[in-house]
Chain A
Amino acid sequence: MRVFCRVFLLLLVLGGLLTLVQDTPGRPTDDISVPQAPAKRFQPPERAVKFEAWFEAHWAEEQIAPAAAADELAILRRLSLALHGTVVSLAELRQFEADAGELRLERWTQKFLDDGRYASYCSERLGRALIGVSEGPFLSFQRERFDAWFIEQLAADRPWDEIVTKLVSAQGQPVADPATNYITISQFNLTGRVDEEIDEQQLAGRTIRAFLGQRIDCAKCHDHFFDPRWKQAHFQGLTAFFVAAHFTVHGVEDDIGRQLEVTDHETGTSRVIVPKVPFGSEWLPEAGTRRQRLAAWLTDPRNERFDRAIINRIWAQMFGRPFYSPVDDLPDPGDPGTRALDLLAVEFRAHRRELKWLIHAIAASRPFRLDSRPPVPGTEQSRAAGWPVEELERREEAWAVFPLVRLRPEQVIGSMLQAASIKTIQRDSSLFTRARKFFSNQDFVKDYGDLGSAEFSEQTGTIPQALLRMNGRLAYELIQPGATAATSAIARATEGDDALCLKTCFQVCLGRSPESEEREVLSRWLAETTGEARQQAVEDIFWTLFNSPEFSWNH
């Protein structure tokens, strides 16, 4: 890691010099209007009709009036946060506004999915369920290699069942065959030596949680106390599929002679556990290694849990909250509470289990496009006080209003960095900008507090987070004057037009125009300012917007 950072630092310095040459003041960075992007020919993906219809029926049944349609700019922001982990750049925003063609949001969803940022951001998000966030064993676990491989899979939109099959049945070296890191992250690493055993129990529990959305871990030592579906025998049977996996100088290999032996605590007798699945045994093929057979069973088209699990996870990424919580402990298929997942699962399979189609299907559905403001309450009293919490929660549970969800730390930092830069920060942005993003993310995420693999647990903000946004070094530096700083470009380019200045600040940070009270109060800061005073006024506006709840909550 240290060597990697040194190389990165060297590249950063070189990239910085390059950027300075490219972005000297007076060059077109001052020009904050961007020409419209040419619209591509576009075939919209098929809609998930039955899935979408379920919501309409559900709202009617529950007698809930859904929220109004959200502003398209707000939907664009949600898409950008979900797929790229940042707010939209000013350049993108201007392109979007100038885009008058049909199916605008569908085309922009596709544009975001085609962007390199999609695979790199989503691999990090989905990767948490696969390999967690821990450092993992020394040498036998190569996170960077895994990440690079997973990014490739997502960018190429390989079907989810193919990806999972590679992970579960992976063999070889963690460097040359990066999918094997899915196995080696479960190495014991008790003494710090590299040749330790694989923890097959942990691997079994993680596999079933990640790919079937079931927590059977509690059945490790005894029948599950709280979920009568899972017995200890189920857990043991699944664990036996992984017991052959071990790590040698050749990497991850299967030793077919290995068997899972358990000792009965009461009788003291030992017995061998044969690989066995808890349901759908007819889907388990006879041929292949134990892990290949398990992968085939997991991904069998009849195994509905497989599709429901990934749909619930992608939904969580899009909304910041899973359709069903907890994200990895779903009821059985057919349960009325998760009927929508069943309906979407059918269509997901029909679309070769491609994640990009799935994202399109969710992004095009009405729940994703509803406002985060529920309809105005009927009585005057409740209009003044807002909906009672229970009523709001009822509407949120029915997905009749877009939920307010705290952004993850890297989304907050990504959004700050993007807002502070006029240009779109993406994979082909200058190295300097990307390097800054890399290092800023590390520090900020550490300070802000990362939820790790429990990322979808609901949390309010914290005092250190508020302090970091208000007074932190990075937030401060980002709004300081500079050749590539958005604050400077905006202050200079809008001198004499305060309304445009304020509007641009709002669009850059919040993706919307200011409302009347905001215009009235914040315009005063800009009135008759030039030079340094104007720069300071723009900095203060940015600070205000960075610290607003609207900035750090998805809405």
Chain B
Amino acid sequence: MTASFAPQPIDRRSFVQQAVAGLGLGFAWPTLDARAAKRRGSERPTSLITLFLDGGPSQLETWDPHPGTPIGGDTTQIKTRLPGLTIGSDYQQTAEIINELSVIRSLVTSEGNHERGVYLAKTGYAPDLTLVHPAIGAILARERWDKSIEIPQHVSLGHSPSPARGGFLGARYDAHKVYEPGGRLRNVASRVQGDRQSRRLEGLKVVSRAFSRGRLTATRRTQHQLMIDRALSMMSSDQLGAFQIDDEPRSRVELYGDSRFGRGCLVARRLVQAGVRAIEVTLPGWDSHGDNFDTHRELAAVLDPALFALVTDLKQHDLLDSTIVIVLGEFGRTPTINGLDGRDHWPSGFSALVGGGGLAAGRVLGATDPTGRKRKPEQPIPITDLLATVLSRMGVDHEKKVVTPIGRPMAYCEGTPIPGLL
């Protein structure tokens, strides 16, 4: 789809208009009745969608290109709907909606190892062998738990090497893992039906009763039966339909792109609509120590349509004002290009997109040195500050201290909300 449009802004816009028309969107591009949408949108409790670019995407090939410099490689740039902002030319569709988001070009993290970096990017803390910190999504699921939701309120879509976890808040806040988004959810359909299922459940009660005899208090504490009951109500819940995309118009599915990630983004929108609090969609493969440019080009072909479709679709469903969208990896990649035409890990001065959910749109924060000599970016923003911003915007006191299992009180997040985004 992306191959068919010309690299001129006007043509891109026509494409978008056609695509939007194809969806039968309920607003005229770009003249949306913003006030009305905002009023309805902001009444909803806020949700979070994190598009996690696992492996460490290059800032230079995405949101912070420096073409024509020694560090720029062969990446070119394009203008966007945000005056003065250019991004990597592989993101032609994103260029059309980037004004709905803000760009951070000066993120810093203390971790340059994938596992540790992902952990920090998801939890706000460096790994500590004495305890597991909860991911931001888990904190949101806990603090903004909605009793009317029968499906998981924290969901991980796609193949994440380290899905978001509940950590010391408890395994109940772990992200529910869906490896193949869009299809039927695994493990929610009973393997037998009718009388056989009834007798199995009846038998289970009898065997459970025998076990709890003499162990009443201890078995109650296990919550084993409670989990089975909740699992059973989830199995019969209509809300499960949010995980499937069968009833979506073909044009909309196509707009997201024919990829696991694209389908994940579409499911994420449906989950938000159903009231799910936090969703991560993972796009792996960014660890380009060799062949950096082709790798990024191929991944851009997946990310670009999906991101464009997600933001557009959220807006069409009047959900963007109540949904924070983050596009983030665990770190960036070196300004220098190594002998394998690759870029190595770069935890200092990398980029992310963030917006929606009432956060400021159209801002560009920070900048990196076009020569690549200065390691420190202008206006460095610790990755924890981004997480604190999300919590704060979603009405969660990020400084709230919880007592961890090791008896040590710990703040949800040690970052400081970024004033430029609130």
Interface residues of chain A, those whose CB is within 8 Å of chain B, are: 132, 134-135, 137, 188-193, 205-206, 209, 215, 217-218, 225-226, 326, 328-329, 371-374, 376, 385-389, 392, 403-404, 406, 446-447, 449, 451-454, 457-468, 470-473, 476, 515, 517-518, 521-522, 525, 536, 540-541, 543-545, 547-550, 552-553, 555
Contacts and interface: CB of A to CB of B under 8 A. Distances in A.
Interface of B: 111-115, 127-132, 152, 165, 168, 170-172, 174, 176-177, 186-192, 196, 199-200, 202-204, 206-225, 227-228, 230-231, 234-235, 287, 289, 334, 344-345, 347, 405-408
B215 A467 contact: no
Given A135-B115, A373-B214, A461-B223, A467 B187 contact: yes
Contacts of A476: 191
Contact of A463 (B127, B152, B216, B225): B152
Given A191-B334, A447-B177, A517 B218 contact: no
B113 A555 contact: no
19 contacts: A190-B347, A191-B344, A192-B345, A372-B218, A373-B214, A386-B217, A404-B221, A404-B222, A449-B171, A459-B171, A461-B223, A461-B227, A462-B174, A470-B187, A521-B206, A547-B200, A547-B204, A550-B207, A550-B211
A397 to B, nearest CB: 13
Given A373-B214, A547-B228, A549-B222, 11 more contacts: A135-B115, A188-B112, A328-B130, A387-B217, A403-B218, A449-B171, A467-B235, A471-B191, A472-B187, A515-B210, A525-B199
A372 B204 CA distance: 20
A192 B289 contact: yes
Nearest to B172: A462
A386 B220 contact: yes
Nearest to B207: A548
Contact of B208 (A190, A462, A549): A549
B206 A518 contact: yes
Contact of A471 (B152, B187, B227, B345): B187
B149 to A, nearest CB: 12
A329 B227 contact: no
The CB with the most chain B CB atoms within 10 A, among A189, A374, A406, is that of A189
A161 B152 CA distance: 47
Q: Which 4 A-B pairs have the closest CB atoms?
A: A386-B216, A190-B112, A373-B214, A544-B203
A226 B130 CA distance: 14
The CB with the most chain A CB atoms within 10 A, among B113, B189, B190, is that of B113
B130 A549 contact: no
Contacts of B130: 209, 215, 217, 326, 328-329
A205 to B, nearest CB: 7
B288 to A, nearest CB: 10
Given A209-B130, A226-B408, A465 B227 contact: yes
Contacts of A522: 203, 206
B203 A540 contact: yes
Given A189-B113, A205-B129, A460-B223, A373 B344 contact: no
Contacts of A328: 130
Nearest to B406: A326
Given A191-B344, A193-B344, A470-B228, A457 B168 contact: yes
Contact of A449 (B174, B196, B227, B345): B174
A337 to B, nearest CB: 15
A460 B345 contact: no
Contacts of B213: 373
A330 to B, nearest CB: 13
Nearest to A189: B113
Contacts of B132: 451-452, 454
A491 B363 CA distance: 69
A217 to B, nearest CB: 7
B216 A192 contact: no
Given A191-B112, A191-B344, A471 B190 contact: yes
A457 B405 contact: yes
Contact of A372 (B215, B227, B231): B215
Contact of A190 (B171, B345, B405): B345
Given A470-B231, A543-B200, A464 B207 contact: no
B345 A191 contact: yes
Contact of B204 (A137, A225, A472, A544): A544
B207 A544 contact: yes
The CB with the most chain B CB atoms within 10 A, among A226, A328, A457, is that of A457
Given A471-B190, A518-B210, A206 B129 contact: yes
A467 B284 CA distance: 27
Contacts of B223: 460-461
A470 B152 CA distance: 17
A460 B188 contact: no
A463 B231 contact: yes
Nearest to B112: A190
Contacts of B210: 515, 517-518
A464 B289 contact: no
